[in-house]
Amino acid sequence: MTMASRTANVCSKSSVMRRQRGEEREMSATEIAFLLAFGFIGATICGALGYLVAADRHWLGFALGFLLGPIGVLVAVLLPRDRDPKSDRAKSRAKRESTFYQRGADQWLDECR
């Protein structure tokens, strides 16, 4: 019998014996509070990293990092970037803004009604 198997055997026997005697240890309220606090701090750090690395969607990066942790930060890094000024989205937004400023706000609002 190897040393590792003997250690595992002894540990499993002692835990079984403790359970039979009713000596299972429960977590105290302080331990639970520490776990929750450290979990929240870790989630906030991952959210901040996701906010920093997300290209144009910072709050999406924060949400992914906060909810999914390090995996969410990786997903935020891989989000598609919309930095190309020649993209269709940027062109349509520039066209809308120029149309709005050319016509004037009052005329535009009258057309919307």
> pLDDT tens for residues 77-105?
988 876 555 566 666 666 666 665 655 66
Contact 66, 73 (CB under 8 A): no
Q: What is the pLDDT of residue 93?
A: 66
According to the model, what pLDDT value does residue 56 have?
79
Q: Which residues of the chain have pLDDT under 70?
A: 1-24, 82-109, 113
Alpha helices in 1-113 (DSSP H): 3-21, 29-53, 58-68, 70-77, 88-103, 105-112
Give the span between the Cα atoms of 1 and 51, in whole angstroms: 53
pLDDT value, residue 68: 94
Contact 33, 47 (CB under 8 A): no
Q: Quick one: pLDDT at residue 14? A: 60
